Structure formats: structure tokens, C-alpha cells
Structure 1
Amino acid sequence: MRTRQRGFSLGLLLLASQVFQIGTDNIPPATLATLGLNVYLFLFPVKPLLQTCVSVQHAYWDGDWHRLLLSPLHHVDDWHLYFNMLSFLWKGINLERRLGTAWFVYLLSVFSLLTGLVYLLLEAGLTELMDDSSFSTQCAVGFSGVLFGLKVVNNHYNPGGVKYIMGFPVARRYACWVELVLIHILNPGTSFVGHLSGILVGLLYITGPLRALMKTCAGFVSGHGNYGRPRTYYNSSGYSGYGMPYTPDTSPYDRQGPYNRVDPSAPPQHPYTAGLSEQEQFEAAIRASLQEQGHMED
């Protein structure tokens, strides 16, 4: 394992700035650990990039199946890492708080592996259909396929509304498909099949069969069907509390706030949600955190 020799990495600096603006105490543990692992493997890659990307040729023909584990965690350059991890940060905070840390880790693991497998199946199918072996040699690397799967899940748990893509309103449930096409048009070097694989895995989860299989394999059903309540998690101070409830007059990230206070024995000051939905609470919490740093996030 060798340190990756790089010059000035603006992408890493911007990523670190975003993390510190939010505050590490406000990022659930699995999300923070996954982000840290991706940064670590960018700086200290297990193998050279060409030996970590996944393709039909390398994984199936050559039997190099460990690439399925390595490819999602390695990135081409610091900007590739920055945009992927910035997107993951918001999705991870939202989904880990909703699903709970244990299930979120399980979800990430399954999505990372299954996205690679679906990618291989699609590329192998295109090879046969088009009679073109170049599809089997296309090598993909990066976390973006997993991100598309998480995007599908996140949109499923936050239905309705619109998302503005390049200034145009798009129904949230169709946003991932529009982004799939736009990304490929604007940046043809990205893996269209890799992103599509993530969307398909996400659809398998939200439509039921994958989620049911995951629960069966895990050997338990622990109330994951009730996603309406915020879950608890341990922050870096070791205190277990809810991250969502707060009032507009009190920052949920204040050290003396109701759920992140220095004295855990003190009674909560504002144990209600001020009539906000969970998504609205999450968005307002991020804005409050950034305002404390003097930066308003629209």
C-alpha cells in the first residue's frame, strides 16, 4: 500500500470544509465512517486504480472478484471523490437517521456489492446483444452507482414535491432518471451502465423483494417498516439522542440544546417539532448549522 502522490487537492479541502461546517458531531457514525474510509483509500489506495476498477473481463473472465469490493471505494481524482462524498453526506445523514445505523450499514454493504453485480450482468448482456466485446472491457470505479441507489431510496421515503435540475422542475420520483441521462450527456466519460445499475438496485429495494430478502438473511425484523420516526444513534460524545426534534428558536446542534446537551440529566427544553415534517426538520437543521458558520445554504 503506497501513499497516492498528489499536488494541491482542492477537492479534498472543499470536502473537509463541508464536513466541518456541518460538524462531525452532527453526522451519524456510519455515514462519517464511510466518508472517512473513502478519503483514506483515496490517499492510501489498496492497489493502483486499474487494478481496482470492475469489468466483466477482470471480474468474470479473469476471476478477480475482489474488485467488486474495491471499486466502489476508489476514485479517479479528488474532484471525483469530492462530488461523490458530498452527495453521500446529505443522503447518508438523512437515511441513517431514518433507518438506524445498523440497518444503514447493512444497506450500504448490500448496495455496494449488488450494484457491481448488476453492472456486470448488464455489460455481459450488452456484449451478447450488440456482439461487441468492448462492453466487457469497460472498467468502472467510484461510489456513484451506490449513490444512485441511495437516491432512489431517499426519494421513496420523501415522496412528492419537485427537484430543480439545471433550473427545471422535475418530479422527485423521476429525478434520478433525468440525472442519469443529463450526467451522461454532459460528461460522456461517466459510466451510464454503472449509474443505471444503482437505480435498478434501489428499485429492487423499494419495491420489496430485496428488502424482504435482506430481512430474511439478517434473521430479524426489528420494526424497519416504521420509517416515520427518527432513530437514535450515538454521536461522537457518546450520548444517544434524537437528532431531529427542535424549534426554530433553538439550534438542534447547540451544545446546550435539548438533544445534544452537556448535562444529559437536564430535562429537554423543547421536545416538539414545531409542526415541521421530518424532511423540513432535516433541511432546517442543515441551514441552522451553516448559519452558525456564517454561510447560508439554500
Structure 2
Amino acid sequence: MQRRSRGINIGLILLLSQIFHVGINNIPPVTLATLALNTWLFLNPVKPLFDSCISVEKCYQQKDWQRLLLSPFHHADDWHLYFNMASMLWKGINLERRLGSRWFAYIIATFSLLTGVVYLLLESSLAAFLDEPDFRRTCAVGFSGVLFALKVLNNHYCPGCFVNILGLPVPNRYACWVELVAIHFFTPGTSFAGHLAGILVGLMYTQGPLKKIMETCAGIFSSDIGYPRQQYYFNNSGSSGYQDHYPRGRPGHYEEAPRNYDAYTAGLSEEEQLERALRASLWDQGRT
């Protein structure tokens, strides 16, 4: 696996443009630090992609466990970085303001590690169940697994809402699953297991014991980590700021999105950015 070269990094330029359009002072610190870390490692990777990606063969069989830390923060090319970080910008602003910076940093660190662990378990199980050793050699890289986990968390705070995916209104509780299938269908080169791992980690936090475990660990190791708290940024219905959300399950009745939404999404909802990503990926595949 090697980074694809495009000459001028248009995706990186678009990402920096969005960041400066929003204003660095308007981006919460942990979100900004995550964007900066991913961008820095794209420009100055710790290791080549082949030595940073995560697979059962490399991590478990060859005991190269540092890949669990490296793989989420390395990207294949500038467009991979752009679409992941544009999504992170939107999710980070919403979730960090709701949960607080310390807890959000705790979530990012935990999700980054756990998505890799769950990915290894999924690939190992598929290899054993289907008797196909290639699953153990499949190597994945990128932040999208963490983003799927954050998407589950963000949708959890907006019950009863709908999102527009590829022109269809989808209830929040099913949105991640629909996007998982849509991305896999339109861009088969993406890591289905990596995205699925992110969804499972998100469900472990919202529906399972992960949140309780994290709170317990935070209480044991530090009394300074703040616990999740409500913020004025969200209205009473729990809307998380999707441009195409239908509050309280009523398509056709829109809630007002935050006024600075267009500033950091270039006027596109997250689902419209997904459609653009799918088209760009298909165009790239046609070129190759």
C-alpha cells in the first residue's frame, strides 16, 4: 500500500480553506488538534502506509501492535484526508461543545484504539468462518472508522430525526447502516470491516457498557476529566444541526440549523458531502 500522488494536493487545499473559513478560533481545541494531527501526519508520515496500515497478519501474527496507534491517523491521499477531516470538523464542533473538551478527547483516544481492535476481530472472524486467509492480510488505514463511531454517538443525541442519504429520508437510528452499505456498494475499495467496526464501537458506547467503563476508568485514574454535560448549543429537541434533518419524525418540517453551518460545509449537508465523495471515488476508479 502506497500513497497515491496527485501532484497538487487539492483535497488538502480545500480542507485548509474550510478550516480558515470557519475560523480557527471557532473550532474547539480537541477538534482542532485532531485536524492538525491528521494533516501533519499526512504531510510528514511516521511510516509509509504499508507500515502504518492495520491487519490481522501484521498486528497479531507479527506482533506489530503500534499499527493500532498509527493507522487511524494516516490517509491514502489528499481526498481521503479531506472527506474524513471535513466530516470530523462538523462532528467535532457539535460533539465537543456538547460533551466538553476533556471528555471528547477521551472519546477520540478510546474510539481510535477500539475501532482497530474490533476491526482485527472482525477480519479474523471472517477469515475463520469463510476459510479465506486473505481477510487476515487485508490492510486498512484512515480515520473513517472513528468517524462512524462518532456518527453513531451524534445520531444518538438526535432521536426521532431523519437524515437525507442519496435523496432518501432515513431515520437517524438506521442512518449509519444505510451509509455503510451505500459506501461499500459505490466504492468497493473502502474498508467495509473498518466502517462496521466504527459502528459497533459507537453502539458499545451508546447502548452497551463502554460509557460506564470509561467513566469508571476516568474516576480511577484522574479526577480532572470532566463528564459529559449538556450545552446551550443544542436545542430542546436534541437536534444536532443536520441541514436535512426532519425533527420529531415529520418530513417536510425543518429545524433551523446553526447559522454558521454553511461556513464549514461549503453549503453541503453531511449526506451531500457523502454523495460528492462517492462520485469522486467512482471518477477516480474510472480514471485508473
State the alpha-carbon separation in 2 of the partners of residues 23 and 109 from structure 1: 25
Q: Secondary structure, in 3 states, of the residue corresponding to 2:65?
A: coil
State the alpha-carbon separation in 2 of the partners of residues 199 and 184 from structure 1: 14
State the shift of 1:91 in Å.
0.4
Q: Tell which deviates more after alignment, 111-120 or 153-162.
A: 153-162
State the alpha-carbon separation in 1 of the partners of residues 177 and 268 from structure 2: 25
State the shift of 1:228 in Å.
3.1
Describe the superposition over 1:62-108 as per-residue Cα deviations: whole angstroms up to 9, x where unpaired. Answer: 00000000000000000000000001110011000000000000000
State the alpha-carbon separation in 2 of the partners of residues 112 and 201 from structure 1: 10
State the shift of 1:283 in Å.
3.0
State the alpha-carbon separation in 2 of the partners of residues 5 and 141 from structure 1: 16
Q: Which amino acid aligns with 2:149?
A: G
Q: TM-score, normalised by structure 1?
A: 0.78
Aligned residue pairs total 250
State the alpha-carbon separation in 2 of the partners of residues 279 and 85 from structure 1: 18
Q: Secondary structure, in 3 states, of the residue corresponding to 1:284?
A: coil
Match of 1:286 among 251, 260, 266: 260
State the shift of 1:282 in Å.
8.9
Q: Quick one: structure 1 residues 166 and 297, their matched pair in 2 at CA, closer, same or farther if it must change by over 3 Å?
A: closer
State the alpha-carbon separation in 2 of the partners of residues 282 and 141 from structure 1: 36
Q: Quick one: structure 1 residues 207 and 14, their matched pair in 2 at CA, closer, same or farther if it must change by over 3 Å?
A: same
- Contact between 1:215 and 1:221, CA under 8 Å: does it hold in 2? no
State the alpha-carbon separation in 2 of the partners of residues 9 and 223 from structure 1: 38
Q: TM-score, normalised by structure 2?
A: 0.80
State the alpha-carbon separation in 2 of the partners of residues 187 and 45 from structure 1: 25
State the shift of 1:161 in Å.
1.6
State the alpha-carbon separation in 2 of the partners of residues 60 and 282 from structure 1: 48
State the alpha-carbon separation in 2 of the partners of residues 222 and 44 from structure 1: 31
Identity %: 57
**Residue 218 in 1 paired to residue 218 in 2?**
yes
Alignment of 1:94-113 (within 5 A): 94-113=94-113
| Counterpart residue number, 2:118 | 118
| Counterpart residue number, 2:15 | 15
Q: Quick one: structure 1 residues 137 and 98, their matched pair in 2 at CA, closer, same or farther if it must change by over 3 Å?
A: same
Pick the structure with more helix per residue.
Answer: 2
Q: Quick one: structure 1 residues 190 and 289, their matched pair in 2 at CA, closer, same or farther if it must change by over 3 Å?
A: closer
Describe the superposition over 1:4-52 as per-residue Cα deviations: whole angstroms up to 9, x where unpaired. Answer: 9862010011111111111111100000010000000000000000000
Q: Secondary structure, in 3 states, of the residue corresponding to 1:164?
A: strand
State the alpha-carbon separation in 1 of the partners of residues 174 and 210 from structure 2: 21
State the alpha-carbon separation in 1 of the partners of residues 157 and 238 from structure 2: 12
State the alpha-carbon separation in 2 of the partners of residues 198 and 290 from structure 1: 24
Q: Which amino acid aligns with 1:224?
A: Y
Q: Secondary structure, in 3 states, of the residue corresponding to 1:283?
A: coil
- Contact between 2:163 and 2:169, CA under 8 Å: does it hold in 1? yes
| Counterpart residue number, 1:173 | 173
State the alpha-carbon separation in 2 of the partners of residues 15 and 163 from structure 1: 24
| Counterpart residue number, 1:190 | 190
Q: Quick one: structure 1 residues 211 and 148, their matched pair in 2 at CA, closer, same or farther if it must change by over 3 Å?
A: same
State the alpha-carbon separation in 1 of the partners of residues 173 and 239 from structure 2: 18
| Counterpart residue number, 1:68 | 68
- Contact between 1:94 and 1:282, CA under 8 Å: does it hold in 2? no
State the alpha-carbon separation in 1 of the partners of residues 35 and 54 from structure 2: 21
State the alpha-carbon separation in 1 of the partners of residues 264 and 183 from structure 2: 28
Across the aligned residues of Structure 1 and Structure 2, the Cα RMSD in angstroms comes to 2.5
| Counterpart residue number, 2:230 | 228
**Residue 38 in 1 paired to residue 46 in 2?**
no
State the alpha-carbon separation in 2 of the partners of residues 278 and 168 from structure 1: 19
State the shift of 1:216 in Å.
0.7
Q: Secondary structure, in 3 states, of the residue corresponding to 2:175?
A: helix
Q: Secondary structure, in 3 states, of the residue corresponding to 1:285?
A: coil
User: Greater RCO between the two (CA within 8 Å, min separation 6)?
Assistant: 2
- Contact between 2:119 and 2:197, CA under 8 Å: does it hold in 1? yes
State the alpha-carbon separation in 2 of the partners of residues 56 and 276 from structure 1: 43
State the alpha-carbon separation in 2 of the partners of residues 146 and 181 from structure 1: 17
